[in-house]
Structure 1
Amino acid sequence: MEPQKPLPEPRQPEGCLVTAIRIPVRIVVLVLVVPVRMVWDALVVAGRFLNDTVLRPFGRALLWLGRAVFVWPLVGLWRYAVVPFAKGVGWLGKWLLVVPLVWLYRYVLTPVGHGFAWVGRGIGAGCAWVHARVLTPVGHGVMWVLRGIWGGVYATVAWLARYLVVVPASWVYEWILTPIGHGTVWVLRGIGVCLYWITRVLLVLPLLALWRWVLVPLGRFLAVVGREVGDALGHAWRVAGHVSRAVGRFLGTLFRWIFVEPVRWVYRTLLTPVGHVVRDLVLRPVAEAARSVGRATRQALAAARESVRQARADFRRMLLGEPRKAVAVDRREPTGRETRTLGSSTTALTKD
């Protein structure tokens, strides 16, 4: 089931100003857009023809040339030079660096590291014993002494800070800074209220009036004009397309009746019968005569080759004599009773 299309929104009623703007704008835009659309359609047709006949074959030729000049040599270089060289370098690196380093790590550095680890574990055990049996008791005693000293010093400093800093600062904040701050806030609040009303009366209200009574109506008028110009451009572009298509069809029909149809009539009515007559009366006899001449020439050449072959054989016999005849060897089956057959037992294995 196809989804239902949303209904178009109802068009708002338009005033006489919109109608008065729309008709002249559409007329002017149509007059201006029709030549542009016709030129555009002509350029599109020319561009498609140029693309199909020139640019696309040229691009394919450039692509093939680029492959032949750049891609294929690079692929061959990579496949037959870089890859074998890299494999050779990797093989040399493996046997000249990796294998010796693995051997050095396994048979030299690993035993040395184990020895250092054993010595380090011994030193660590000794240090742990010194820390647990010597340094820890000494540290506890020092901390006990420092804790007692720090407790007395802290209590004295706290008492002095309370009565020399905190109490005077609290009195100054409560009886001096607080009243001054309240007075400053009251003065700043009054200054802020005055600045607010001055800004509102001298700046905000004029700007609000300018926006409400000048810019908003002007913007609505410009929006109507812009919308109508856009609609007129779209409508004129579509109408110009129909006009351009009609003009193109007219020119195509005119070209066909002026040039194509006369050429077709001349070809069909005059050239085709003349061509048939020329073919039947001139070309076919000429072709048959040429074939006859060709057959006679081939026969003459064959006779000449045979004469040359016979003369060469006679000259060879005159100089070297008759060639020795080969002795004929009878390779056929034996005849008479010696013949081997499938139905008798006269073979080499079964005869008596």
Structure 2
Amino acid sequence: MELDKRPPGDGGEGCLVGVVRVPVKIVALIVVLPVRVVWELLVAFGRAARRHVLGPLSVYVLQPVLRGIGRVLTVLLKLVFVWPWAGLWRYLLVPVGQGVALVWRGLCDQVLAPAGRFVTGYVLRPLGEALAWLGRGGVRYLLAPLAKGALWIGWVLGMTLFVWPWVALWRYVLDPVGRGVTWLAETVYRYVLTPIGHGFVRLAIAVFRYLLRPVGLGLAWLVVALYRYLLRPVGLGAAWLATALYRYLLAPLGQALAWAWHVAGRIVRAVWRAVRLVGWVLVGWPAAQVYRHVLTPVGHVVRDVWRTVRTTVREVRAEVRKALLGGPAREPARSRARTLGSTTAVGETPSAPEISWRKRG
């Protein structure tokens, strides 16, 4: 029996899945498959029957039969529901209605119209004229005087209660008081407020003319003189000084600093290249040679020794486990996970061909 190299649980299925899947497959094979086959046969048979039997039968047999039955039912329905009512309407109700209309027209023309004309001409019109004459007489000789008296009394009461008191109040109280107040206001305005206002205006004009205007002119002249004889010369001198300082001092100094910075950069680059070359000659190249010709071979030797020792330890451990526990020796889960299920590490070249435990035994 060879060593099992596949880790347990890698893509396998549990016993519960197998127990459930096998009965389901058996039921599907015994029950579902026959039912589906029968269903497909019935569907195919139905399509063929509809296409080759029911279609021509409905065109050449069912449609003429149904058409004849429809015509018979139409005639029966007309015979039962249409023709009796049409005959009743045409031969009974229409003549009866025409006779009733003729009788009613004759009754209206021969009886009701003369009776209406007689009642209107000899009863209602004289009664209306009498009532109208009585109404006109009552309005003219009774209601009109009463209405005029009521209007006169209402006018007198309205004037007494609502007009004359307010007219008297306006005429004898408010109008004299208003005229007195108006005269007093005009007098105060004419002889008090007007002189005071004129005095304030003259005072303001005098203050502006003899105080504010000279002060303003003096301040304006002072500002102009200060700008012309002090600020402008000072500003021009400062501008000339700044221009001269920039042109003859700052610009040459800046150019000299830029040239010095450029030269210093070249010197620093040259020094850095020299330092880097010296460092490579003194440190880098010897270190590279030591790594290439000393450390790399030593590392390869150590790696080969370590692989050999690890392989030997694994084989001894597997032999011990087989001797103690029995059964085929298997690689531990940790090593198997690290080497993806192989018997050697990643990139390891086995020194001997793989053999089974059976061949070793």
Same fold (TM over 0.5): no
Q: TM-score, normalised by structure 1?
A: 0.37
| Bigger Rg over Cα | 2
Q: TM-score, normalised by structure 2?
A: 0.37
